[in-house]
Amino acid sequence: MTLTAPARTAPPPALPGRAPGARRAWRRASPYAYIAPFFTLFAAFGLFPLLYTAYVSLYRVELQTPGDMQWRGLGNYTALFADEFFWTSLRNTFTIGVLSTVPQLAMALGLAHLLNHRLRGRTFFRTAMLLPYATSVAAATLVFSQLYGRDFGLVNYVLGLVGTDPVDWQSGTFASQAAVSTIVIWRWTGYNALIYLAGMQSIPHELYEAAEMDGASRWRQFFHVTLPGLRPTIVFTAVVSTIGATQLFGEPLLFEGSLSGGISHQYQTLGLYMYEQGWGFFHLGRAAAVAWVMFLLIVLLVGANALIARRRTRKEAGR
Amino acid sequence: MSHARAAGRTAARLGAAALAAVLLAACGGSPEGAAGGADGKVTVTVDLFGSFGYEEAGLYAEYEKLHPGVTIKQTDTEDEADYWKSLQTRLAGGGGLADVQAIEVGRIASAVQQQADRFEDLRAYGAEGLKPGFPEAKWAAATGKDGRIVGLGTDVGPEAMCYRTDLLAQAGLPTDREELARRWSTWEGYLELGRQYQAKAPAKSAWIDSVGSLYSVMIGQQKERYYDASGTLIWDTNPALKAAWDASVSAAQSGLSAKLDQWSPQWNQAFAAGSFATLPCPAWMLGYIKGQAGEAGRGKWDVAKLPAGAGNWGGSYLAVPRAAKHKKEAYELIAWLTAPEQQAKLFRKQGNFPSASGAIAQIADATDPYFSGAPIGRIFGEAAKAAPVQVLGVHDQNIAQQITNALGEVERKGTAPEQAWGNAKKGVQNTVG
């Protein structure tokens, strides 16, 4: 013990002068060492696939003959942009995204507002909110597609009771997109409501008290205290929902079990289009090109989102 | 069953689950298999799609009794499209393959032309000796240009017309299978009967389930469909294909169809509800009808000759992947399963029509009480004999899917036929591109 004690307080005499340097180097390097495990994994499972996908997208590669790669240059991309169904799926991704995200976030906000009040069994309701999120996409979609059956579905049965003609929820463009959107809405509204709830609870109570003293009604409080206070949270959920909507895949795939997203691609999203190219037709190069276009699209969307958010904040600050 | 997408798309929707099950099963199987050999006990894994019916017909149990020490473990993916996807992924990776893998006839060209090196050449096990027992065409489809044998034939899909006698009677139409066969000796006759049916049909009942199934049987009657013998794509200039398309469009526009999507849950429900009076049926469809219509349908169905001659829809092969663990045992199993005795037994129990010539003779007298005692052995036997030898191509399955999708547009959305044809063309472009 006594022998080692000096070593603890002073550098070992065998390395005079070098130790401070080594220590300094270590101090400088150690953060990198600490984050290395993450970045090693990220490089192996995130960065490498990303770059390799870009590489593959320049070749003609078929799943049946993956060893046989033919250089195509940007051919996969030009073929993609010349394909009408690509644009259809891009449009569908956008419309389904709007149809699902807007009502979902609006409803989540309303629900969070209700949950923020003192009410009986609050914990129960908060937990119940999260249940759809905990359900698997496959199970939820299978149930929904039964409900939306044209001839024997519950939805059309109820519509029939009020005297409406049955709707073909699979073939109709708007009908099928609306049906797919409801699955997304059902699954994600509760999740977003909880995030909003957390955001609402971090708004200082004094603000509400002050507003109340000024005679602001509940509604005015909601619009002038809650909403501004929630802005960062709303931006976050909008970004996450946008990414989710761009990648939407499971729901449209399992809705009818159709790779083409319905008989006339009426609800085929970009994710499903990529899957059809890759695992329906086995064109891996084409699928890789779609993947990169999707990636760039998401970067673009998120960038635009961040830009808008920043400009708003700056405006607020300048006010 | 042995054709693409025969089995319900219900399960297709469970694709992810099915894939996971297959992978798990494959993973679970390998260690046992590897441990095999030493104590003389071997587990042969068999990976199929749809329902081949081997297990149900008791063939595995029989084989295990004949070969002590051999255990057969089967995994099964309901939808052939999902099965093929998963098989392709595993072939590309070279792992997780079963000792026996099934291949649908619509895929056999792809397996033989593009992936022959991933499968065992069955000549090494003496498969050439089995050749005389099979019709030339069935055998040739699984044989490469260099003579390599990729798979052994299981069943074929000779086509007939299944119909509901009770519904036809209600509409005042004949129900006798011979008379019907005479009246619908041509497709025009069939559509004409359909118009008569539609005029007096019970409520919510249509003549045929979908125009997609009409198209599928009609194209099944052709020798050349999507490719010509040299392997060139000819589908969009093929007059026979256009004729099948036109007849399907005409059926759709005359309102003869129940507008159902084959293999969808709605289609399955429609069997019990009596939504359609006729269903073009390859032999393997009989088992499917029994499964969907259930006991309530017993005696209400019958089988007659197909309009305008014989055709074939579907059929399969069993192959041994190069990466299989027990190749010799696997070959012995598939040789036994595809032998005439076993194929005949399977037809009597499950309805899959044999491809082995010897088996066809054995089942000539078979009748089916479920189908009002129809002489299914004779009807399908004659159809199998007269069916054309089809030219197979790499993308057959996917092209057919694009065309039935486009017909669905005409049928369900009222899309103009020219526009739908254009959509099919673009879809095929994507498929083969």
Is the Cβ of A59 closer than 8 Å to some Cβ of chain B?
no
Which band of pLDDT confidence, cut at 50, 70 and 90, is reported for residue B307?
very high
Instruction: Identify which of A84, A138, A172 has the shortest CB distance to residue B14.
Output: A138
Range B338-367 average pLDDT: 92
**Yes or no, beta carbons of B13 and A257 under 8 Å apart:** yes
Is the Cβ of A280 closer than 8 Å to some Cβ of chain B?
yes
Range B219-224 average pLDDT: 95
Question: In the numeric block, which tokens belong to residue B98?
Answer: 């079963």
Which band of pLDDT confidence, cut at 50, 70 and 90, is reported for residue B127?
very high
Question: What are the structural domain ranges in chain B?
Answer: 9-157+314-362, 158-312+374-432
Burial class (CB in 10 A: 0-12, 13-18, 19+), A153: buried
CB atoms within 10 A of CB A149: 19
Instruction: Identify which of A65, A279, A281 has the shortest CB distance to residue B114.
Output: A65
Question: In the numeric block, which tokens belong to residue B218?
Answer: 């009609």
Instruction: Identify which of A146, A172, A286 has the shortest CB distance to residue B265.
Output: A146
Crossing angle of the two packed helices B239-253 and B187-200, in degrees rounded to 10 = 10
Percent of chain B with pLDDT over 90: 76
Q: B202 vs chain A: nearest CA distance in angstroms?
A: 16
The larger pLDDT score, comparing residue B28 to residue B49, is at B49
Range B98-117 average pLDDT: 93
Structure confidence at residue B25 (pLDDT): 42
Query: How many Å apart are CA B310 and CA B218, to the nearest integer?
Result: 9
Cα Rg of chain B, angstroms: 21
Range B171-181 average pLDDT: 96
End-to-end CA distance of chain A: 65
Chain B residues touching residue A256 (CB < 8 angstroms)? 9, 13, 261, 264
Which band of pLDDT confidence, cut at 50, 70 and 90, is reported for residue B39?
low
Name the residue of chain A whose CA is nearest to B396's CA: A281
Homologous superfamily of A83-282 in CATH?
A: MetI-like (1.10.3720.10)
pLDDT score of B177 more than 70: yes
pLDDT score of B7 more than 60: no
pLDDT score of A182 more than 80: yes
DSSP for residue A139:
H
Average of per-residue pLDDT values in chain B:
89
Name the residue of chain B whose CA is nearest to A285's CA: B433
**Yes or no, beta carbons of A263 and B15 under 8 Å apart:** no
CA B71 from chain center: how many Å? 27
Structure confidence at residue B6 (pLDDT): 43
3-class state of residue A100 by DSSP: helix
Q: Which residues pair with B333 in a beta bridge?
A: none
Alpha-helical regions (H) of B221-323: 239-253, 265-273, 285-293
Query: How many Å apart are CA B221 and CA B386, to the nearest integer?
Result: 10
Q: Which long-range contacts does B133-139 make (Cβ < 8 Å, 24+ apart)?
A: B133/B339, B133/B340, B133/B356, B133/B357, B133/B358, B134/B355, B134/B356, B134/B357, B135/B355, B135/B357, B136/B389, B137/B389, B137/B390, B138/B315, B138/B355
Question: In the numeric block, which tokens belong to residue B16?
Answer: 């992810």
Query: Phi/psi at A131 (nearest 5 deg)?
Result: -60, -45
Percent of chain A with pLDDT over 90: 66
Instruction: Identify which of A66, A253, A277 has the shortest CB distance to residue B92.
Output: A66
Which band of pLDDT confidence, cut at 50, 70 and 90, is reported for residue B36?
very low
Checking phi first, is residue B372 left (phi over 0); if not, alpha (psi -120 to 50) or beta? left
pLDDT score of A93 more than 80: yes
Determine which of B4-13, B77-86, B125-134, B389-398 has the lowest per-residue pLDDT on average. Answer: B4-13
Chain A interface, best mutation among B5, B409, B430, B431, by max A CB count within 10 A: B430
Query: Phi/psi at B160 (nearest 5 deg)?
Result: -140, -175
Indicate whether this complex's ipTM tops 0.95: no
Q: Which of B318, B335, B324 is CA-nearest to residue B34?
A: B324
Residue numbers of A between 151 and 180 with CB closer than 8 Å to B: 151-152, 168, 170-172
Q: Which residues pair with A60 in a beta bridge?
A: A70
Q: Which listed CATH number (1.25.40.340, 3.90.1200.10, 3.40.718.10, 3.40.190.10) goes with B9-157+314-362?
A: 3.40.190.10
Crossing angle of the two packed helices B417-432 and B239-253, in degrees rounded to 10 = 130
Question: In the numeric block, which tokens belong to residue A88?
Answer: 């259809």
Alpha-helical regions (H) of B134-186: 136-141, 165-170, 177-183
Percent of chain B with pLDDT over 70: 91
Query: How many Å apart are CA B228 and CA B232, to the nearest integer?
Result: 6
Structure confidence at residue B287 (pLDDT): 84
| Count of pairs with CB atoms under 8 A, one residue in A, one in B | 95
Determine which of A4-13, A78-87, A91-100, B151-160 has the lowest per-residue pLDDT on average. Answer: A4-13
**Yes or no, beta carbons of A145 and B398 under 8 Å apart:** no
**Yes or no, beta carbons of B423 and A149 under 8 Å apart:** no
Cα Rg of chain A, angstroms: 27
Query: Phi/psi at B402 (nearest 5 deg)?
Result: -65, -40
Identical fold, B9-157+314-362 and B158-312+374-432? yes
Strands B42-49 and B100-104: parallel
Structure confidence at residue A64 (pLDDT): 85
**Yes or no, beta carbons of A150 and B13 under 8 Å apart:** no
**Yes or no, beta carbons of B265 and A279 under 8 Å apart:** no
Query: How many Å apart are CA A139 and CA A131, to the nearest integer?
Result: 13
Residue carrying structure tokens 């072939």: B91
Query: How many Å apart are CA A243 and CA A101, to the nearest integer?
Result: 11
Homologous superfamily of B158-312+374-432 in CATH?
A: Periplasmic binding protein-like II (3.40.190.10)
pLDDT score of A127 more than 70: yes
What's the pTM?
0.85
Alpha-helical regions (H) of A71-172: 75-82, 84-115, 122-134, 137-147, 154-161
Contacts of B46 (CB under 8 A, 6+ apart): B54, B72, B73, B74, B75, B98, B99, B100, B333
pLDDT score of A318 more than 80: no
Determine which of A206-210, A221-225, B15-19, B241-245 has the lowest per-residue pLDDT on average. Answer: B15-19
Name the residue of chain B whose CA is nearest to A264's CA: B409
Is the Cβ of A283 closer than 8 Å to some Cβ of chain B?
yes
Structure confidence at residue B329 (pLDDT): 96
Structure confidence at residue A219 (pLDDT): 85
**Yes or no, beta carbons of B110 and A254 under 8 Å apart:** no
Name the residue of chain A whose CA is nearest to B413's CA: A171
Evaluate the CA torsion angle B207, B210, B215, B216 in order and state its sign: negative
Q: Which residues pair with B151 in a beta bridge?
A: B319
Contact A246, A297 (CB under 8 A): yes
Average of per-residue pLDDT values in chain A:
89
pLDDT digits (tens, 9 = 90+) for B75-89: 998 788 889 999 999
Chain B interface, best mutation among A282, A284, A290, by max B CB count within 10 A: A282
Range A118-138 average pLDDT: 88
* DSSP assignment string, B231-251: S-B-GGG-HHHHHHHHHHHHH
pLDDT digits (tens, 9 = 90+) for A132-179: 999 999 999 999 999 999 988 999 999 999 999 999 999 999 999 999
Burial readout A230-256 (b: 16 or more C-beta within 10 A, e: otherwise): beebbbbbbbbbbebbbebebbbbbbb
